[in-house]
Amino acid sequence: MSKILVIAEHLDGKLNPSTARAVSAAIAVKPEAIDVLVLGDSVDAIAADAAMIEGVSRVLTVARAENAHPLAAVLAPQIAKAADGYSHVFAPSTTFGKDVAPRVAALLGVAQVSDVMSVEASHTFKRPIYAGNAIITVEANADHAVVATIRTASWPAANSGSNSAPIEALTLDVTLPTHTRFIELKQGSSDRPDLQSAGKVVSGGRGVGSKENFEIIYKFADKIGAAVGASRAAVDAGYVPNEMQVGQTGKIIAPALYMAIGISGAIQHLTGIKDAGTIVAINKDGEAPIFEIADIGLVGDLFKIIPELEQTLG
Amino acid sequence: MKILVGYKRVVDYNVRIQVKSDGSGVVTDGVKLSANPFDDIALEEALRLREKGVAEEVIVVGIGPADLTAHLRNGLAMGANRAIHVVTTDAVQPLTAARVFLKLIEKEQPGLFIVGKQAIDDDANQTGQMLAALWDRPQATFAGKIDVSIESGATGKVTVTREVDAGLEVIEAELPAVITTDLRLNEPRFIKLPDIMKAKSKPIDSIEFASLGVEAHDHLKTTHYAAPAKRSKGVMVKDAAELVAVLKQKGLL
Ligand SMILES: Cc1cc2nc3c(=O)[nH]c(=O)nc-3n(C[C@@H](O)[C@H](O)[C@H](O)COP(=O)(O)OP(=O)(O)OC[C@H]3O[C@@H](n4cnc5c(N)ncnc54)[C@H](O)[C@@H]3O)c2cc1C
Ligand SMILES: Cc1cc2nc3c(=O)[nH]c(=O)nc-3n(C[C@H](O)[C@H](O)[C@H](O)COP(=O)(O)OP(=O)(O)OC[C@H]3O[C@@H](n4cnc5c(N)ncnc54)[C@H](O)[C@@H]3O)c2cc1C
């Protein structure tokens, strides 16, 4: 039987919703137990959140000052130690999970399955390659642990609220390296919905033209209560910060509504939105590739259309 | 110090990948191959560090079949001092690639090993992190900015700004270390014709994979390839009012 250890992602004392998505993937394996591992300096509030997620059997915590920031070199040896006895170790496929999971896999001497989209059997998974242009079925060796990252856009967050899993503190006897130090995290402060979990996302591309013009995207997004994203071209041109990039090398998202404004629809961008419910494209070029995948297309100048949209909405 | 750079050859990012109809793989016959874009960025960064006097030697490393030499020549033309070609006709998975790189580290003793954050064919995003684990050294993944300060030889530290989901994270690591590159780290230079001529005389060291004593058994078996689910063709609307009406009808606004 399978026993799964899910690595919790958290920031500023709050559990990241990606953790509950990884739990969904764990449930799909139909294991005997799903334990969530919380590594931090102060872990109580995070552990309490994790304990409420349906399907979680136990929450294991490791509270150490060294765990204040998610440094892979510091976390990986602890996770590898805690993984003893588990058949699977899952982490969300966010920059946190992508950073730490391969380090854990290498310490365990096993391969990693990246970006799990579906679970076919306990050791068989589907994952995308070539920017999502091919989907492969991979089989991991059942003789040792499977380390995997979970493609969050493919999994709904497991429900939360009705569960109250026991919380247990772990003491792990591992020496931690001191060769890597956290200096700072520069976060874009925003009151808007979080790009990775928002139900609606409005994204702007190079067509928006400048940092100043991007205000029109923000304003419209605020009007409909959407998060704001961007193409790589818009980030590279300095219109918006890097954490807003959507695509193969940015965030992979699955909102119910995605509006691509002044974005041409390059393959690398589309990779990030394949699982969106409804894709709307607004572009002045009727031949833009974005129209090939959009559910609703509108050809025209964004600087004319957006004010009209706002007006219609009242 | 020396810098080793992972330099992988992949299907060019402009190629529209086709899955073979029998599900046995993707069509790679006759398609254009190029350096993994993240590896060009890794090499560019290494060259800039050499130009700043931080490094003396930049070595590109590739694992692949005999014809990989032409690709490694591109790395030499871009400016690497020499290349190491680990020869194998088998596809190597990230853990195996990391074990191979560790063998090369034992021989070359670099201060930095820079690889791409992901190769755009398998999109695994693992090799650098695995290498850092096996080497028991720091890792700085998804680097958008790198500052190296050298004390002597291969000792010193590197300050890296990382592109993470929450924004930009700055970490400091002691050398030697592994760095994986993100897209905004730099813009790789173009190769000029005279450089291609010069590259012809630069050394490529060939090492048989089997001679390294690396366990080659691969833990992951790919059993099937499929094309992704297609989105069905959508509708065009004529103006803003119609767009709002359709979205309201779908309950999205
Ligand atoms: C035609 C073809 C068929 C393939 N078939 C299969 C298959 O059936 N099953 C399978 O599992 N894999 C297959 N692979 C690819 C597989 O061997 C990948 O190379 C391996 O899984 C590494 O994944 P990645 O490159 O995405 O690693 P990542 O971790 O994404 O790579 C990160 C970085 O590591 C470095 N790096 C990684 N590998 C190399 C290398 N070989 N040389 C130099 N630097 C490197 C690069 O700097 C790269 O940017 C195939 C590849 C090709 C080209
Ligand atoms: C390895 C690699 C990884 C990449 N990863 C990503 C990624 O993660 N995410 C990503 O987005 N890209 C990524 N890219 C880049 C990608 O290939 C494209 O270059 C990029 O997505 C283009 O952005 P864009 O659509 O905003 O710009 P463009 O392609 O320049 O398109 C701008 C569009 O705006 C339209 N337009 C202009 N003015 C107006 C107007 N007034 N009104 C309406 N429409 C207007 C134009 O018709 C055009 O279609 C990657 C590339 C590589 C090589």
Q: Quick check: B232 pLDDT over 90? A: no
Largest Cα separation within chain B, whole Å, is: 69
Q: B55-70, pLDDT tens digit by residue?
A: 999 999 999 999 999 9
Q: Which residues line ligand 1 (CB under 6 A)?
A: B 6-8, 28, 36, 38-39, 61-64, 91-94, 97, 115-116, 118-119, 121-128, 220, 222
Amino acid symbol at B199: A
Q: What is the mean pLDDT of residues B76-100?
A: 96
A145 vs A89: CA distance, rounded Å = 7
**For a pLDDT cut of 70, what percent of chain B falls above it?**
99
CA dist B194 and B196 (Å) reads 5
Distance, in Å, from the CA atom of B180 to the CA atom of B252, rounded to the nearest integer, reads: 40
Percent of chain B at pLDDT > 90 equals 92
User: Coil, strand or helix: which one is B58?
Assistant: strand
Give the mean pLDDT of B165-175.
96
pTM metric for this prediction: 0.91
Q: Select the residue of B163, B165, B225 nearest A136 (Cβ to Cβ).
A: B225
The mean pLDDT of chain B is: 95
Q: What is the dihedral of CA A68, A71, A74, A76, to 10 degrees?
A: 120
Confidence at residue B154, expressed as pLDDT on a 0 to 100 scale: 64
What H or E segment, with its residue span, contains residue A73?
A: helix A72-82
State how far the Cα of B126 lies from the Cα of B135, in Å rounded to an integer: 14
A31 vs chain B: nearest CA distance in angstroms? Answer: 21
Residue B146: predicted pLDDT: 98
Contacts of A165 (CB under 8 A, 6+ apart): A36, A50, A51, A52, A53, A56, A57, A58, A59
DSSP state of A154: G
Min Cα separation A134/chain B (Å): 5
Which residues does chain A have with pLDDT short of 70?
Answer: none
Please state the length of chain A.
314
Residue A25 is which amino acid?
Answer: A
Q: Which of B10, B32, B115, B225 to mutate to test the pocket of ligand 1 (most atoms within 8 A of CB)?
A: B115
Which residue is associated with the tokens 């730490």?
A100
Which of B10, B118, B100 is closest to A99 using CA atoms?
Answer: B118
Give the C-alpha separation, A113 to A127, whole Å: 8
B110-157: pLDDT as tens digits:
999 999 999 999 999 999 999 999 999 999 999 999 999 988 766 799
- What pLDDT, on a 0 to 100 scale, did the predictor assign at position B153? 66
Residue A10 in contact with partner chain B when CB distance is under 8 A: no
